[in-house]
Structure formats: C-alpha cells, structure tokens
Structure 1
Amino acid sequence: MLDIRKIKAISLDLDDTLWPVWPTIERAEKALHDWLGEHAPKTAELFASPLALREIRESMTAQRPDLKHDLSALRRESIRLALNNAGDAPALADAAFEVFFAERQRVDFYDDALAALTFLGGRFPLVALSNGNADVQRVGIGHHFRATLSAREFGVGKPDPRIFHAAARAVQVRPEDVLHIGDDATLDALGAINAGLQAVWINRAGHAWPHDGEPPLTLASLSPLCALVCAQVKPGP
C-alpha cells in the first residue's frame, strides 16, 4: 500500500499519463507528410500511409540498435532513410524532423492533468521521467518540474533501475522516498517497485495487472491521488 508519509519527491511519466500520446503522434505524422508533399513529393507518395512510415521506422530500429533510447534520433534517421529510398535529398531529414517534432509537442492534456501538476508540485519536487521525446518546456509545463530526465539523455530507459535512481538523485532524495507515477504497468509501475520506489499505476483504460503478485495502488486518474495526498501533506513553501 502507498505510504504517503514517506514521500519526499515524485517522478512522473509524461505520454499517456498526462496526455494521450497517439493522437499527438498521428497529428505530427500528418504534419510531416504534408511537409514532405511540398518539399519531397516522391517520399510523400511512397510513404503515404502512417503504416508505411512506421514500417521504415522499424527497419531503422533494426539497423541502428544504438538509437533504441533516442526516439528523436530514431525518427530523424527513419525520415532520412525514407527520403533516400524514395530518391529525394536525404539532407531534408533535419528540416522534416523539426516539422514533426514541433507538432509532437502540441498535446491535449487529460482533464485531471494540469490541476494535478499544480497540486502535487506545490507539495513535492517533481521530476519528469520519460522514455519518450516530449519536451516539457515546449509542451508548456516545464515550470512544474525541478528536473527532467529522459532515456535519450541518460542512455537507458525505464524499467532500468538506474534511471529511477538518477531521478531520485536529481532532487537529492533516496529512491525509497520517491513516488513514481505512470501509465505503463511494466515500465512505470513494476520498474519503479523493482528500483525501490513507491509506485502508483495510472490505469485509465481499466487493464488487468499483467504481472504476478499484487499491483501497486491503481487509479483511473490523478485526481484520487491528489485527494489522498491532500488529507496528509501540507503545501510546500
């Protein structure tokens, strides 16, 4: 069970915890395709469907395992490969990626997310901890976080215990004093528990716990967690 009295800091996943990620990715891929249609029409025609783009991304993942934890580099090099395969200029990849990346930062928050960030950030130092490539500053929520840590920057991603421990060090607390909040049962919830943190699984879709043993505290949104905290923790200075 969650011991709120022990919490000195909170680490938070981003994609599918604070906003649904796939609508964002779909919009970003459409913006990318529209840009390719103007600047690299052969690539736009060859990779007209999101499925085709994802297939070439899977191909790049197989070719470049060193980019496993750097989704931005993986996306950029996938675009470069698509341009090359279609006969367009591979040098367009950087500009094309920037179009995708800018749109990828336009997210639609879950209804509970912004209020929860304000509430929790007023009581604990928050660390953004993500395997993805959302930029909290460009998304507009950077002011809520004392630190941000991504798999791209750190070199390994969740559920590796080292990235959870690095999040604890970033706000100068012990791992056992950190609560990690995230939507992925394996990467977030089980990963945090195995790293010695407390965990809350944000299970908005009502999935079954996929692992042996009892799940951590499981909530359908961030709002009930704020209510639990409100009963026991006073606001910070």
Structure 2
Amino acid sequence: MSFPVRAITLDLDDTVWPIAPVMLRAEGILDDWLRRHAPNTAQRFPVEAMRALRDEIAAQRPDLAHDFTTQRRLTLEHMLRESGDDIALAKPAFDVFFAARCEVEHYADSEAALQRLAARLPLAALTNGNADLVKIGLMPLFRFQLGAREHGRAKPDASIFHAACSRLELEPAQVLHVGDDIELDIVGGVQAGLRTCWINREERRWPHTHVRPDLEFTTLAELADWLDTAHRTDTAAA
C-alpha cells in the first residue's frame, strides 16, 4: 500500500524501546535509594507494595490518568508520610527514579531506523508516558515531543493527535501515526483521522474487524524501507 505522508507522529514506549525492563530497573534503583535515605519507607513499601500503592492512587485519581509523573510523586509522598520519613525526600527520590526511567535500551533497529525516517519526514513523538527525549538523546531527530501530561489528555483521545497535527501544520490525513498499542495508537489514530502504522514486534493477531491499520510491520526498519520505496515512487511520478 502506498499513500502520501508528510509527517510521522511516533509512540515511544514499546515502539522505540521495550518499557518493562526499564521500569523494573528504575524501581530497583529507587528501592536501593530509599533503603539508604528512607529506610522506614523501604521496609514498609518494598517494590511490590510500591507498585500496588501506585495502582491504588491511579484508581483513586482518574483525573490524573494522563499524568504518570504526578501519580509517581503522590505515591512517594504517601509512602514517606505513612512511614514517618521526611516527605521532602519525595523530590530527590523521584529524580533518582526518573533518571533511571530515561536510561532506555533501544530495540536493535530503532536508532538507525529513526535516523532514516527523520531524513525523509518531520518526526514528532506522541506519548502517554513521561520519557524525556532530551535525556535519552534522541531529541535531535524530532521536531517536538508531545506528552499526555503536557497536553492534558491521553491517547486514544483525538485531541492529542489533533494537537500534534496542528503543531506540524498538517491535516490529520497527511500524518502517519506509528505505535505498538492497538487501542491507544491504532484505533485512536484512525478515529482521529490519521493514517496509522502498527509496529507489531510480537506478531500478534489483529483483533478488530471494523478498523485496521494502514500499515503493519514488525520493526521500525521495515517502516523506513516502506518509506524509502514510497518516496522513490513519489519522485518518479513527479
């Protein structure tokens, strides 16, 4: 399939890098820090209890569904308060966690593929997560990063897709959204009027009959190959 694309919006977690090992490592580093600086909290809230509390706070605060940063900070404040440690430690504790959260290990194809994509079209990161592309070192490849926390609504809400398109000064149909999540990225992108590309690294089966992605690849490198071919076709037609 070939169609005109003038820009790409790109999901990050589980699209450019796997998120599970990042979070496991970040939580472990946070736990080690708490054991040194807030031992009462570390003892009362080991990693599993910390995760359970974060989930509980997320359930209690649906108004923060788009804001993982505030959810994490509230979790740390609650842990410290309940354990009798200094609540002022919440900020340095979060800083330690967030630094580790931004130490990602890319999928093998990602960096080279992103460079190829950025050489062809403007790229914009569109994420529900709170990864920082400046800290990660990929920001030079992107026009901008738009997160759910900054926007105020998360994917699959159409408004975050449309906000990205507005910043790109393009109509939704001119933008290709690329991501791994079936509902948040693909169904959300289609409903917002964007073209979509499903990065299906695990070769899952598509579950819907009423909507499908325009493209489906197992890696970003395959998307870059498709874009190179589409570009050559467009150039030849011109």
TM-score, normalised via structure 1 length = 0.94
| Greater Cα offset, 211-220 or 113-122 | 211-220
1:100 is aligned with what amino acid? F
Aligned to 2:236: none
Matches within 5 A, 1:72-87: 72-87=69-84
Q: Distance in 2 between matches of 1:47 and 1:98?
A: 18
Aligned to 1:45: 43
2:204 counterpart (184, 204, 207): 207
Aligned to 1:58: 55
Describe the SS at the equivalent of 1:232: helix
Is the CA contact 1:10–1:178 (under 8 Å) kept in the aligned structure 2? yes
Describe the SS at the equivalent of 2:42: helix
Describe the SS at the equivalent of 2:206: coil
Residue 35 in structure 1 maps to residue 26 in structure 2: no
Q: Distance in 2 between matches of 1:59 and 1:232?
A: 47
1:49-97 CA distance string (max 9 Å, x none): x321111001211333322211111101101111112221222111100
Q: Distance in 2 between matches of 1:218 and 1:185?
A: 11
Describe the SS at the equivalent of 1:233: helix
Matches within 5 A, 1:172-183: 172-183=169-180
- Give, in angstroms, the shift of residue 213 of structure 1: 3.1
Describe the SS at the equivalent of 1:17: coil
Kindly report structure 1 stretches of 4+ aligned residues shifted beyond 6 Å. none
Q: Which runs of 5+ in 1 are unaligned?
A: none
Is the CA contact 1:147–1:171 (under 8 Å) kept in the aligned structure 2? no
- Give, in angstroms, the shift of residue 214 of structure 1: 5.3
- Give, in angstroms, the shift of residue 210 of structure 1: 2.4
Q: Distance in 1 between matches of 2:231 and 2:108?
A: 23
- Give, in angstroms, the shift of residue 209 of structure 1: 1.5
Is the CA contact 2:180–2:200 (under 8 Å) kept in the aligned structure 1? yes
Q: Distance in 2 between matches of 1:53 and 1:221?
A: 33
Aligned length: 233
Is the CA contact 1:11–1:127 (under 8 Å) kept in the aligned structure 2? yes
1:131-165 CA distance string (max 9 Å, x none): 00000100100001111100000000100111101
Residue 186 in structure 1 maps to residue 183 in structure 2: yes
TM-score, normalised via structure 2 length = 0.94
Describe the SS at the equivalent of 2:124: strand
Is the CA contact 1:14–1:128 (under 8 Å) kept in the aligned structure 2? yes
Residue 25 in structure 1 maps to residue 23 in structure 2: yes
* Two-structure CA RMSD over aligned residues (Å): 1.6
Describe the SS at the equivalent of 1:127: strand
Is the CA contact 1:43–1:83 (under 8 Å) kept in the aligned structure 2? yes
Residue 196 in structure 1 maps to residue 215 in structure 2: no
Q: Distance in 1 between matches of 2:19 and 2:227?
A: 27
2:111 counterpart (105, 110, 114): 114
Aligned to 1:164: 161
| Percent of pairs with identical residues | 46
